[in-house]
Amino acid sequence: MNVQTTASADGTTIAFHALGEGPAVVVVGGATNRKTDWLELAEALAADGFTGVTYDRRGRGESGDTRPYAVEREIEDLAAVIAATGGSAGVHGVSSGGALANRATAAGLPITSLSTFETPYRVGDAPTPPADYVEHLQSLYDADDADAMLEYFMVAGVGQPAEQVAAMKEMPFWADLASIGRTVLYDGYCLGGSQAPLPADLLASIRVPVLALGSTGSPDWLRNASKAAAAAVPDGRYLELEGEFHSAPTHVLAPALAAHHHR
């Protein structure tokens, strides 16, 4: 499959796949996601009459990573992908990618409809990372210790047991995943800092239809975060899909996205 590239406003190369013909729906991946993780969804969207687009956020896969990092640069990256795939698009944000998608929509990018899947805002009694979570990631980033960043994200951010992560570090896939470990900091900034608060004012400024999705297989706090995000948007609704932990199978997810982004 051919990889296409575009240049962001600061000159950073952003790599993407665009499949099919029709209005574009751009998938914004979450932490540690790369464009290949969402090819199946892009193919399903293409089969439903869209151009399914999946891209490497900066610092991942075949995209560049110009420093210093700022959330505004990632918004410009998404703008460049949208410009390269038709000029306007529906956008689907996955997990922390939903936080970036929300910010980009509020910033006025030519996004015609928005869907998000369990953006992990910490609402109610949700578990929260350490108060200095992002600051600690930043110190590891400054030390160029991507391996330690990924480990800290898994334990302090995701909540996996330290012994489980230690076992993961012995697996063959770890080195490949750690190669993009520094980007977990970027997701922390997109989420608004260590405590990832619900950005109620930002969400209230969004003026396109928003579908916030949850999975039956996820813990209550993740579904509650999606419900709260939907309630904060003027034209927002929540939909729960049959799925697994923090995910839903493509054959369930794709029809929901097709129905929403056809609006």
Stretch (H or E) spanning 113: strand 111-117
Both tokens assigned to 85: 């795939």
Q: Find all residues with CB under 8 Å of 195, minimum gap 6, and list them.
A: 122, 128, 129, 131
| Residue 156, domain extent | 133-188
Assign residue 38 the CATH number of its domain: 3.40.50.1820
Strand pairing category for 210-215 and 236-241: parallel
Q: Are residues 138 and 98 in the same domain?
A: no
What's the pLDDT tens digit per position in 92-144? 999 999 999 999 999 999 999 999 999 999 999 999 999 999 999 999 999 99
Q: Are residues 98 and 143 in the same domain?
A: no
pTM of the shown model:
0.97
The count of structural domains within the chain is 2
Q: Are residues 68 and 163 in the same domain?
A: no
Best CA proximity match to 48, nearest among 70, 21, 68: 21
Residue pair 214/223 in contact by the 8 Å Cβ criterion: yes
Q: Are residues 142 and 225 in the same domain?
A: no
- How buried is residue 152: exposed, middle or buried, by Cβ count under 10 Å (0-12/13-18/19+)? buried
Instruction: Supply the pLDDT for residue 120.
Output: 98
**Over residues 190-203, mean pLDDT:** 97
The band of 254, judged by pLDDT with boundaries at 50, 70 and 90, is very high
